[in-house]
Amino acid sequence: MPNSVQAEVEVRRSRRRKRTVSAYRRDGKVIVMIPDRFTRAEEAEWVTTMLDRLDRSEKRRRRTDDQLMSRAHELCREFLHDKVQPTSVRWVGNMTTRWGSCTTSTGEIRLSDRLATMPAWVVDYVLLHELAHLIEPSHDKRFWHWVDAYPRAERAKGYLEGVAHAVALDLEPCPEEEAGA
Ligand SMILES: [Zn+2]
């Protein structure tokens, strides 16, 4: 499983920033924001510290692959009448254009780890979406009949569209970690 220690890191120096350091993940990269006055040694030290913190906070929040699998079973029961069962569900770090994918022939489901820090109901929506593809491979009426049974389907679609839009606009989210330097 990829973690921030292996991720590409981009350090951004800010003149406005006096004492705070922050780090967040975007597009598979970790952005570390530091005050412009930091020395190279301070930069290196803070990058290590912030990667470690980001990693720990993501691990606390992220469901494990096993938890994803049992959640998938619950969603199948609740929304898909147990018509299908995935053979595996796991996070992947190399998905750049999709939130999730599935292989209908094998029943394998993969979720982009960019979802890992999003609300559980958004992750559930993508998971249910991929599970429904095991019944209906295309985005046809029958497919949406299954997926839209999920009460927060519309809200989750809007949430994900919003995130994709913000990334395209190159907006920065609020920093996830703030620490006094
Ligand atoms: Zn789909």
Q: 107: which 2 tokens?
A: 């029943």
Expressed in angstroms and rounded, the spacing between residue 129 Cα and the centre of ligand 1 is: 6
Q: Tell me the pTM.
A: 0.67
The DSSP 8-state label assigned to residue 179 in this structure reads E
In the chain, CATH 3.30.2010.10 sits at 65-150
Q: How far is the CA of 41 from the centre of ligand 1 (A)?
A: 46
Residue 55 CA, ligand 1 centroid: distance in Å: 29
Ligand 1 centroid distance, CA of 42 (Å): 45
Query: Can you identify the CATH homologous superfamily of domain 65-150?
Result: Metalloproteases ("zincins"), catalytic domain (3.30.2010.10)
Separation of 180 CA from ligand 1 center, angstroms? 43
Rounded CA separation 67/120 (Å): 12
Q: How confident is the model at residue 6, as a pLDDT?
A: 57
- Using the mean position of ligand 1's atoms as its centre, give its distance from the Cα of residue 88 in Å: 17
Please, what are the averages of pLDDT over each run of 10 residues along the chain (181 residues)?
60 88 82 93 94 83 87 96 95 86 94 87 96 94 96 95 76 49 36
